[in-house]
Amino acid sequence: MSYGLPTLISFLYLMVLFAIAYRGDQRASAVGGAATSPWVYSLSLAVYCTSWTFFGSVGLASQRGIMFLPIYIGPTLMAALWPMVVGKMVRIGRAERITSIADFISSRYGKSHTVGALVTVIAIIGIVPYISLQLKAVSDTFHLLVGDPLVHPAVAKAPVPFDTAFHVTLILTAFTILFGARRIDASEHHRGMVNAIAFESLVKLVSFMAVGALVTYSFRDGLAELFDAAAARPEIAGLFTVSGAGDWGSWLSLTLLSMMAIICLPRQFQVAVVENVDEGHVRQATWLFPLYLILINLFVLPIALAGRLEFAGLGVDPDTYVLALPLARESATFAMIAFLGGLSAATGMVIVETIALATMFSNYIAMPVLVRTYMAAQPKQESLSGIVLAIRRLAIAGFLFLGYLYARLTGENFTLVGIGLMSFAAVAQFAPALLGGLFWRGGSKAGALAGLGSGFLVWAYTLFLPSLARSGVLPMEFTERGLFGIELLKPGALFGLAGMEAVPHALLWSMMANVGFYVLVSLVTRQSAIERIQASLFVDSTAVPGGTSQFWRGNATISDLQALAARFVGAEHAEAAFAEFSRSRRFNPSRDEANPELVEFTERLLAGAIGTATARVVVASVAKGDIVSLHEVMEILDENSQVIAYSHKLEQKSRELETTTAELRAAYEKLTELSRLKDEFIATVTHELRTPLTSIRSFSEILFDNPEVDVAQRQEFLGIIIKESERLTRLINQVLDLAKLEDGTVNWDMAETELVQTVDDAASSVGQLFKDKGVTLEVIVPSAPVWLLTDRDRFSQVVINLLSNAVKFCEPDSGRVRLTLGDSAAGITIAVSDNGPGIPPEAQQKVFEKFQQVGDTMTGKPAGTGLGLTICRNIVTHLGGRIWVDSHPGHGATFSFFLPRTQG
Amino acid sequence: MPHRRAFRSGKAIRDKLVALFLLGVALFTPPLLLLFAGGGRLGGIPVLYLYIFGAWIVLTLLLALVVERGERSPGRGDTP
């Protein structure tokens, strides 16, 4: 293939990319940056997959089998924790207007310049090799595509102006500046860039899967055939297995490493946190991103195997199999597709990574210097936004050329994966300070500096410097014999820890130093006031009630603040922002004195453009005064936590009160009901008492007023008076009895009682009643004695009540009553049947209620007091049994009760 | 109190996600992986390869299930 076509297609591709970004930016400014889809967010996260994934995974898989996978499994595991970790970072990032990972860590540790600068330096040194990897991949594959294929091109040997990698660097520099540093934005979002990155992710996925499918199903006869062929070669079959503890050690450490990298890589932080516009997208990315990783890894092993089968002994670089396979089978279209996929993987990474690095560099290295020198010299200089823009452009160019330099210096000594892992290990140093700062309030600035610094030094000594030494930039001596010839300081086997691969070894030692110093120094140092405030903001992640502006003391004029903002974000934007602020807070702009809230607002406005630490410094230069003292900060924070604690307590109390109220209401309702019943009872009792009283009184009066009443009549009247008095006594006795039963003051005399005798005694005690009325009583009892634990007197009372009740309703002379005693294992049953008129069904439920008398109460005289059955029910219930009635009107009634043998 | 319930459902989702994270750790670390690392093949395809991708897909499906169900019915996060 000639130079012309691939060059043209590459340029067209970059143009399309730019058009997407440009449209995205236009639309974002039109609708205010809102309305993006979760798909775009998840796809933009796939900037994780660079040319390392696209070409390097196949290279690694062809040598080590499944060992290419932990780099993608780690992020999958981390994705499960995203709503907790990234979600929290997004919330904080939005509130604090975070622009980069350096900004985030610096802001957490008291908006410290030193921390931000250290993070920036680590990121730059760690990432430059990674950028060089992308340049190398693009230029190598381009060579392969156009030049003499299947032999390794000697790129590094060409003089710089004719070096393809150099051309690639130039082109990418121009494009990255177009994407990310066209103009200075007040906002930290790059809507257009994110859209372009999402598109690139789609392109590389489709391209890789297309090549994978082509290789598997067209060049070979499907997966099974491919694996069979591979298994037939002993040297390839080994790839299907994992052997040895060392391999598993690598597997674990690579998983861990990639888990940290997925949140600590500056470009991942950029797309996941800084560019996030909707927290809900994080949730969908939890599964969309792992899905992407699965898809893009599906064909890695098949391509690797096909490559080894195809190129056995030909010396083709395994990192180029993806492209070399279509080329070897002369499929120009698919070769071009593979190249474009690789190009999109590389450009996506380069664009986001260098923009993120440039932001960090300008905010934490260039800005502090600029602010200190330039602003002091010319305090009333017009605008700095032009200078900021220039710094960013230069930084982008600088990083790309550093990358080129690294690629040229290290030449062909490394695989894509080797370089990538080194960068991963560098950014992993951020993890303790980042995650610790997110969940541990005690992490301090000194601790973060100590951890980051020591971890970085160990990383540089064990991984970075050896990589330079191996490519001849540094003398090899220290890697082979240890620093100063001390064996224990050998970079590859620090303190004698030999036998590990370089990356796990470096990760182990650097993490030990990092975490160790971070925790130790945090524990022994004291936090300053601002560290305390920021720690509280980050860890609790909910806004401090009352706002953070309460921490700031100082005075400034509105015009000063606006002028300051204008210098960094442009006059037009500053004016609009200030107007919006005074409108939303109903702030009266006639007074020129700014309140703490406005000072804080200005700081945030600036933070989006120049980073939190610098923003704090420049605002402080205008707003005289400072943060309140540590003592006061503690007081405010304590007050706030107390307020929160109080409100929790109050909430609990009010819940308790609610339940108590409900209980009280229920009790009150019950009481009202009882009181109503009592009233009814008293009314009825009084009524029942009055009837016999009235009759006694009337007959006494007749006798008193008419002394001449003859003896026979007098006898009759006195008889009535005696009968009514008896009834009255009986009624009062029963009322007292019932009252005692109901309030539980009756003494129960429980004893083993022989029931046959008891029933007989009860029957004979009412025998006179039966004889008087001429009613037959038939008692049927078992021949054997029946024993039951019960109260003998109460038991007899029930039987007597039932018998006298029965006799009352029988017709004189023809009446018949039958009493039966039934005995079973469960208990005893007494039934009293009569042949009276019976009880209508609707009355059967009520006969046991107080003063419920069955019969025609209008004409017939009440036959009883209306309390007998109620007393019976009370006694039986108390003894653990039950009482009931069966009756068919006209055929008599049967009152029965049952007492169980075992009582609780 | 709707915000309370929303909070509770958010917490339920978080708990489930942490559980899935632990499941993932268990699936992709040596004790379980070792079972499949012997080099056996199923239908021509190495079982190790099949296992890793199978477990990966299942884990991703579960993640999707948890976050998507939790989102569609806010406040009913407690019901499985």
Domain residues of chain B, as ranges? 2-72
Q: What pLDDT score was predicted for residue A151?
A: 40
Q: What pLDDT score was predicted for residue A91?
A: 86
Report which residue type is found at A521.
V
- Judge: B28–A242 Cβ closer than 8 Å, yes or no: no
- Judge: A84–B71 Cβ closer than 8 Å, yes or no: no
Q: What pLDDT score was predicted for residue A250?
A: 82
> pLDDT: is A371 or A508 the higher one?
A508
Joined together, the tokens standing for residue A279 give 């927290």
Residues present in chain A in total: 904
> pLDDT: is A593 or A528 the higher one?
A528
SS3 A817: strand
Joined together, the tokens standing for residue A86 give 């990234």
> Measured between CB atoms, does A368 come within 8 Å of chain B?
no
Average pLDDT over residues A540-568: 66
> Measured between CB atoms, does A654 come within 8 Å of chain B?
no
Query: Residues of B with CB below 8 A from A284's CB?
Result: 67-68
What is the distance between the alpha carbons of residues A193 and A49, in angstroms, rounded to a whole number? 16
- Judge: B71–A252 Cβ closer than 8 Å, yes or no: no
Instruction: Lowest mean pLDDT of A209-223, A337-351, A377-391, A571-585, name the range.
Output: A377-391
Superfamily covering domain A4-427: Sodium/glucose cotransporter (1.20.1730.10)
Interface mutation target, options A91, A243, A291, chain B, most CBs of B under 10 Å? A291
Q: Where are the alpha helices (DSSP H) in A32-158?
A: 38-45, 51, 57-64, 70-96, 101-108, 113-146
Q: Where are the domains of chain A?
A: 4-427, 543-628, 747-900
Give which of B65, B73, B75 is closest to B16, Cα–Cα: B65
> Measured between CB atoms, does B28 come within 8 Å of chain A?
yes
The residues near A191 (Cβ < 8 Å, ≥ 6 apart) are A24, A25, A27, A28, A33, A36, A275, A277
* Dihedral sign (CA A352, A353, A357, A360): positive
Query: pLDDT digits over A690-740, tens only?
Result: 888 888 888 888 888 888 888 888 888 888 888 888 888 888 888 888 888
> Measured between CB atoms, does A232 come within 8 Å of chain B?
no
Q: What b/e string do you get for B49-78 counting C-beta neighbours within 10 Å, with b at 16 or more? A: bebbbebbeebbebbbebbeebeeeeeebe
Average pLDDT over residues A670-682: 85
How many Å lie between the alpha carbon of B20 and the closest alpha carbon of chain A? 7
Query: Residues of B with CB below 8 A from A290's CB?
Result: 56, 59-60, 63
Residues 515-534 of A with CB under 8 A from B: none
Residue A637 · residue A544 · CB < 8 Å: yes
SS3 A542: coil
Query: Residues of B with CB below 8 A from A223's CB?
Result: 44-45
Longest CA span, chain B = 58
Name the residue in chain A with its Cα closest to that of B29: A252
Is pLDDT of A369 > 90?
no
The residues near A205 (Cβ < 8 Å, ≥ 6 apart) are A46, A292, A295, A296
Is pLDDT of A635 > 80?
no
Interface mutation target, options B28, B48, B71, chain A, most CBs of A under 10 Å? B28
Give which of A265, A293, A356 is closest to A75, Cα–Cα: A293
How many Å lie between the alpha carbon of B51 and the closest alpha carbon of chain A? 11
Residue A496 · residue A509 · CB < 8 Å: no
Is pLDDT of A863 > 60?
no
> Measured between CB atoms, does B67 come within 8 Å of chain A?
yes
The domain defined by A747-900 folds into Heat Shock Protein 90 (3.30.565)
Joined together, the tokens standing for residue A328 give 């070897």
Average pLDDT over residues A346-375: 84
Q: Where are the alpha helices (DSSP H) in A499-623?
A: 502-524, 529-540, 558-569, 571-584, 596-610, 612-622
Query: pLDDT digits over A596-619, tens only?
Result: 777 777 877 777 777 777 777 777
Query: Residues of B with CB below 8 A from A241's CB?
Result: 37-39, 46, 48
Helix axes A430-439 and A502-524, enclosed angle (nearest 10): 40
Joined together, the tokens standing for residue A246 give 């060392």
3-state DSSP helix/strand/coil % of chain B, to nearest 5: 75, 5, 20
How many Å lie between the alpha carbon of A22 and the closest alpha carbon of chain B? 32
The residues near A445 (Cβ < 8 Å, ≥ 6 apart) are A109, A110, A112, A114, A115, A527, A528, A531
> Measured between CB atoms, does B32 come within 8 Å of chain A?
no
Instruction: Lowest mean pLDDT of A220-234, A458-472, A833-847, B35-49, name the range.
Output: B35-49
Interface mutation target, options A241, A257, A259, A647, chain B, most CBs of B under 10 Å? A241
Could you count the other beta carbons within 10 Å of the beta carbon of residue A396? 28
CA distances from A668 to A658, A663, A678, A742 (A): 15, 9, 15, 20
> pLDDT: is A792 or A154 the higher one?
A792
Residue A605 · residue A562 · CB < 8 Å: no
Query: pLDDT digits over A765-789, tens only?
Result: 888 888 888 888 888 888 888 888 8
What is the distance between the alpha carbons of residues A84 and B14, in angstroms, rounded to a whole number? 7
Q: What pLDDT score was predicted for residue A477?
A: 66
> Measured between CB atoms, does A287 come within 8 Å of chain B?
yes
